[in-house]
Structure 1
């Protein structure tokens, strides 16, 4: 059950965001606990290693994250790296979680303007925290010295205020090139707030097993994350570099449902690899014409795609088409532009061009 915000006793989400932004965080030094509790009218609670602010809200208490062993190398004298406030408690299934996140995002966007950053944390959130299985979308209003982020938490969306330096330092320093160094995707727009924003280097998959895992994670969560973020991946082409060039192999399209088209070259038995036609996947008729591409699948909305099985089908098709190594499977540059954001697909581990 999704408990509602905005009762007579509780501020709306928009008002909560404004109050969080108005607090002087004292440089995220120890004094922040007093500053936050006094400014927000909340009480201090929890323990030294698990501090909370007792909000009295029906949605639960706010969590402070102290600088510990995982956070220390990325912090610059701060004692805390974030305050997370739960804003909804939807049912645990992907459609309910995505809808709750989208509702919160829309309310915050109306109040604060368009987020300057959006994306997915994938399976590895800031400071190596794990995210929910259904997807890990986030939107962010970047500022200095602090960031306000709406994040998919383990039980529902959370409003997170955090110092800009540690969060971005962590992200930057994951660009060390090892497999799975970063997950998810990251998109930024031309908002002046993004001046000076740094982007880490990516990593490259070294085996087809790695591609199957990374592509499976991406595809499995994509419909839920697209719904939550309110964006559509209108054309995300994958090209396959072979001895005869780099033809288009796949077209990934995702809004509230995920559809994938396959441009199998002559000699590849697409049907035996699991591809169907419009007759078998009627929902794809609204995405492509009846005969272009001939081969396609519709794999459903939030929570429905079987990501690993899909990824293995794409990998098998690419290899049958003559792509000999993971570096030969390329994400088209068209995929980098999503609803006004320039997006980098860090979690795929595939080249873009």
Structure 2
């Protein structure tokens, strides 16, 4: 370890963020990254293909990601695509991980302002890296030539400094139309830093089984991810049957619990499909007061929703009311506006309108 030691202030998440934002990455070349590490007062270890940066920080050492097979088509002279620095560790359960991420996010927002981009990587992060099972939220302070991201890591939140162009080029090129080609969701605000930000095309679910998987993944992680990001999601679903598309479901996640209401006609036996009433799900009263809507379910907080079971219930209900194809289950356009961000739910594979 270098003789230069980090002060208590520098050890803080905000202090680390300031240092990373101000750092000169030298184009992410080998010499540039070595100078970056030395300038941060850290030491270099490991092998060329598995470099480790010894930080002496309580949350652990940092990782450098060299350009390899999955990264090389997206770079333009860079030899590395990120420096990931753990900032906290927490118990492995979803509630603890989400709370740890949220604490780091609040400190960073106070220091850097609102992130220009928020979202979830789903189960496929940048350059095909898998994320933690509880959820994969991220916040991004976009810049040029580099971007700072708060990302959910395996043991806790991580601050990731990365060259902006490679990560965005990777994301943009995933919009190829194949099922599950993009996961998670992506939201951007009107920050001037987002000038020139590109958005990939999406994909559509071609079978009910595909939708069960994508919807299950989304619902299972939603309370943990909204808690981590500090956002609230309200998402109506409309079911096209014949010449109309009435409201069918209302998915609401207030950052603590996930609740879903159903507006199917009385001709469908909703109790048999798994729906309950306000009396059976009293925690939903904070979202829908009284007994209207009649049918609802309380799916729980971080780590509690049974994503696939919920998705199967929603799909069975949609079929029961006459929705004949996943393309006829449409997410209401109002769901795209979340706390000042325009959000695209890429991982669902559903149309929005």
Q: TM-score range by the shorter chain?
A: over 0.9
Residue 10 of structure 1: how far off its partner (Å): 5.5
CA distance in 1 between counterparts of 2:8 and 2:121 reads 34
CA distance in 2 between counterparts of 1:230 and 1:181 reads 27
Residue 45 of structure 1: how far off its partner (Å): 0.5
Deviations 1:169-200 (A, max 9, x none): 00000000000000000000000000000000
CA distance in 2 between counterparts of 1:100 and 1:32 reads 32
CA contact (8 A) 1:120 1:137 kept: yes
Residue 268 of structure 1: how far off its partner (Å): 0.9
Q: Which moved more, 1:278-287 or 1:170-179?
A: 278-287
Deviations 1:291-350 (A, max 9, x none): 221100001100000000000000000000100000000000010000000000000000
CA contact (8 A) 2:26 2:36 kept: no
1:255-274 mapped onto 2 (5 Å cutoff): 255=254, 256-274=256-274
Q: What is residue 199 of structure 1 aligned with on the other side? A: 199
CA contact (8 A) 1:10 1:57 kept: no
Q: What is residue 42 of structure 2 aligned with on the other side? A: 42
CA distance in 1 between counterparts of 2:246 and 2:274 reads 20
Q: What is residue 167 of structure 2 aligned with on the other side? A: 167
Q: What is residue 70 of structure 1 aligned with on the other side? A: 70
CA distance in 1 between counterparts of 2:238 and 2:44 reads 54
CA distance in 2 between counterparts of 1:76 and 1:322 reads 51
CA distance in 1 between counterparts of 2:94 and 2:218 reads 15
Query: TM-score scaled by structure 1?
Result: 0.97
Residue 229 of structure 1: how far off its partner (Å): 0.2
CA distance in 1 between counterparts of 2:230 and 2:213 reads 25
Q: What is residue 244 of structure 2 aligned with on the other side? A: 245
CA distance in 2 between counterparts of 1:41 and 1:29 reads 18
* Unaligned stretches of 5+ residues in structure 1: 1-5
Q: What is residue 232 of structure 2 aligned with on the other side? A: 232
Residue 286 of structure 1: how far off its partner (Å): 1.5
Q: Which moved more, 1:135-144 or 1:266-275?
A: 266-275
CA distance in 2 between counterparts of 1:36 and 1:47 reads 17
Deviations 1:25-54 (A, max 9, x none): 111111133212221000110111110111
SS at match of 2:292: coil
CA contact (8 A) 2:9 2:15 kept: no
Q: What is residue 328 of structure 2 aligned with on the other side? A: 328
Query: TM-score scaled by structure 2?
Result: 0.97
* Unaligned stretches of 5+ residues in structure 2: 1-5
CA distance in 2 between counterparts of 1:342 and 1:8 reads 37
Residue 285 of structure 1: how far off its partner (Å): 1.3
Q: What is residue 92 of structure 1 aligned with on the other side? A: 92
Aligned residues: 347
Residue 244 of structure 1: how far off its partner (Å): 4.2
Find out whether 1:157 has 2:157 as its counterpart: yes
Moved over 3 A (4+): 6-10
SS at match of 1:31: helix
1:181-196 mapped onto 2 (5 Å cutoff): 181-196=181-196
CA contact (8 A) 2:26 2:33 kept: no
1:1-353 mapped onto 2 (5 Å cutoff): 8=8, 11-233=11-233, 235-255=234-254, 256-353=256-353
Deviations 1:136-174 (A, max 9, x none): 000000001010000001111000000000000000000
What RMSD over aligned residues (CA atoms) do the two structures have, in Å?
Answer: 1.1
CA contact (8 A) 1:33 1:44 kept: no
SS at match of 2:162: strand
CA distance in 2 between counterparts of 1:158 and 1:25 reads 18
CA contact (8 A) 1:84 1:159 kept: yes
Q: What is residue 3 of structure 2 aligned with on the other side? A: none
